Amino acid sequence: MRVRRCGALVIEPNEIPSLDIGDLLSGGDGVRTRVEIRVWAAHLDEYRRVSPAQAQWLLQCSAEYWQDLPADADSRALVHSLLALELLVAEEVPDAETGVGPVSRSTPGEGHWWPLAAIHHRHSRWQGVDSVTDMERSQLVTAHDLRQRLGSPPPAVPDQGPLPGQIGLPEVPASALESLGRRRVTCRNFDPGRSVSMAQLAAALQQTFRAHAQLEPAPGLVFLKKNVPSAGGLHPMEACLLVQRVEGLAPGLYRYHPLRHALTPVVPECELDADTARRFLAGQHWFVDAAVLVVFVCRFERSLWKYRNHRKVYRAMMLDAGHLSQALYMAATECGLGAFVTSAINEVDIEKALALDPLKEGPLAICGMGWRAQERTTAELDPLQGAWPAPGGA
């Protein structure tokens, strides 16, 4: 049997403090630290703790070339322990000594990710997180909480005073597009009893995700024309919908096809229930009653095909999600609906429902839309008072 190291990993020496009563009583600060060595890998959902000897072996092992097992028994035991931790990959051939197959399966391919981006993506995903409970526990719910616990933030606009050579720009009448943008307000109060129409849903998807044309400059190389920009013109983002209340459409999961402008039901890998939206949204109950949740699922392989091992590609894919969220906001606003976007989502729970391989395709954000409730029970940032006019105002 031969082995090599998995492709993308980071070794982190993590200092863990503890209270030392003896040191405290003898006049010290009472703080003792121990170092725990953690290994973060792109193909694993959790870090692995390793010993200094295991870490040293990983540092000496190649990720590109197979190497034979060491001769001495202690080193071989070290290698087998790293195989059990899935930090080494065994070659898929029988062991020359025992004739038995490898003791560890090979780690999944990491594609063409830049290693640090792959590790960040894998380990920044959530599962089963209730972000609202966490905020309440930390007393970081209201604006007053934030100010009291965190102090004043950096200014919204740096106050530099009058600047030499500063040139004022003329006021220009607002266009229809700008007026629409001013009406865009993040909705946190949805009407749980009102459905959106099929036409409203179709219009929103048509303006954001639909491909209005395609170009094939070389065999098998297809570029799509959508209403939003995308790095390299690759458009890796797809829409997966959790439909809750759409007229003429059964509740459930759907995938949107950007060329056919059609929805295909998805058979979920795990059972959907009344709490599915809350699970997807990491407990953000103010978004749960949206009529439709649009999960932005990024097909990473599409972008990584061109931008191989590129340091900027993950950032570019995030920007793609930002373009789409604003486009969906505007489309929903034009339809008279409220909308929101959040990246505080339980990616792993969504991946399990949609049977996604997290290094090939995965959720980056959720947008939602639906009718705004008649009463505002959760605060919304609406300084122009377009969504919630002041009492007695127009």
Q: What is the pLDDT of residues 98-144, one digit of tens each?
A: 554 443 344 445 679 999 999 999 999 999 999 999 999 999 888 88
pLDDT, average across residues 229-244 = 97
pLDDT at 103: 39
Residue 393: pLDDT over 60: no
Q: Return the C-alpha torsion angle 335, 341, 346, 352, nearest 10.
A: 40
Residue 300, C-beta contacts closer than 8 angstroms, at least 6 positions apart: 111, 113, 236, 317, 359, 360, 361, 362
Identify residue 10 by its one-letter amino acid code: V
Instruction: Map residue 89 onto helix, strand or coil.
Output: strand
Task: Report the run of H or E that residue 50 belongs to, with start and end.
Answer: strand 48-50
Residue 55: pLDDT over 90: yes
181 vs 161, which has greater pLDDT? 181
Residue 126: alpha-carbon gap to chain centroid = 8
- Residue-wise pLDDT for 60-92, tens only, equals 999 989 999 988 999 999 999 999 999 999 986
Token reading at 391: 């009492």
pLDDT at 107: 47
For 131-140+179-370, CATH gives: 3.40.109.10
Q: Where are the domains of the chain?
A: 2-110, 131-140+179-370
Distance, CA of 237 to CA of 296 (rounded, Å): 6
